[in-house]
Amino acid sequence: MAFDDGLGLDPSTQDTQNYSVSATGLISRTLTLWSRKLIQYIIIIGIFGAACAGVSYLMLVALFNSIGVIGADPISHFFSFFTYTTFPDIPFIVAILLFSVVAFVINALVIAATIKFALADYGGFVADVGMSFSHAIGKIKNIIIIQSLLSLLISVATFPGLVMFSRAMEVIDISDPFNLILSPESIEMLMTAFGFLLVGGIFVLYFMIRFAPTLAIVTDTELSAIDSLKQSWELTSGNFMHVFAGQILIGILVIVIGAVVSSVMDAVFMLDPVSIVPEAIVIALLFGSLNYIYAAVLYRDLSSRRGAAPSSTLDDLMI
């Protein structure tokens, strides 16, 4: 049951068929919601994402003389340490984990607020930034649980392949980047690594599709984190190819946006490695909300399809 707080949608009072769209319709509606409330989305999630990139960059430069940005995912960071060819120092590990944990918690708040705002706007209600944050406070715990479980799933599935790939790189002579010296051992390890990554990637892809609307479900309903995962599994049942097509399209959109921003920043900063910082800030500031708006649109779409026969893959790719 959705919260009836003037922000979300009450399914009993809405014509759910209005929300059933094709895969391309998911993207077009996402872009429409994003563009007409861009300033609000920048306030809700963009500023945090940009600040996270900027602060993490300054921290790495000041403390470790290293260029980079830190993401808000402590679990993935923890697993990644074991794939390094040279294990990092303890202070480096502690700094990254502490920063990512704090960012992880705040990120849960802004994710819930972004989705709540999108659901309100999509439903034709007055979408209010303050009320969206107020609603999101009560969702932080469940958002953290869901993201932790999904992050753990991804990390466990890809960890063997990443470790094998890292070990393969240790025995490859890269003194000349244009003439790599590959030993039979390194070739065998690389093939094994790609095999593990392929299997892990397929596993992750399947479950990410089945759990795609989970964050929107837990934000909009009173369900627990586990029950929201179950509800997501039920909603995507029979609609796998439809969700898959939508995920592919939103993924392509994000990749294109990233490539455009990266090209512009490389041109401005003359390929200086520091360009990754303004690149991350611009993407977070302007486009950080896209995936969560998409989750809200997908959730409404799948809710409206419940009990109806799923459309074909070809129909899903047409408006």
The one-letter amino acid code at 23 reads A
Contacts of 310 (CB under 8 A, 6+ apart): 238, 239, 241, 242
CA 189 → CA 87, 182, 213, distances in Å? 20, 11, 37
Residue 27: strand, helix, or coil:
helix
Contact 277, 38 (CB under 8 A): no
Contact 40, 129 (CB under 8 A): yes
Residue 230: Cβ-neighbour burial (10 angstroms; 0-12, 13-18, 19+): middle
Q: How far is 226 from 231, CA to CA, in rounded Å? A: 9
Q: What is the pLDDT of residue 3?
A: 40
Q: How far apart are the first and last CA of the chain?
A: 30
Structure tokens at 160: 């063997």
CA 163 → CA 30, 68, 83, 169, distances in Å? 37, 21, 5, 10
Residue 308 is classified by DSSP as S
What are the structural domain ranges in the chain? 24-316
Q: Where are the beta strands (DSSP E) in 232-315?
A: none
Q: What is the pLDDT of residue 201?
A: 94
Residue 43 is classified by DSSP as I
Structure tokens at 53: 């990139």
Contact 193, 159 (CB under 8 A): no
Q: Report, in angstroms and rounded to the nearest whole number, the Rg of the chain calculated over CA atoms.
A: 21
Structure tokens at 214: 């989970």
Contact 97, 78 (CB under 8 A): yes
Please give the chain's pLDDT, 319 residues, in tens: 344 444 444 444 444 447 999 999 999 999 999 999 999 999 999 999 999 999 999 999 998 888 888 988 999 888 888 777 677 788 999 999 999 999 999 999 999 999 999 999 999 998 999 999 999 999 999 999 999 999 999 999 999 999 888 888 777 766 655 676 677 777 888 899 999 999 999 999 999 999 999 999 999 999 999 999 999 999 999 999 999 999 999 999 999 999 999 888 888 877 777 888 899 999 999 999 999 999 999 999 999 988 544 443 444 444 4
Contact 132, 7 (CB under 8 A): yes
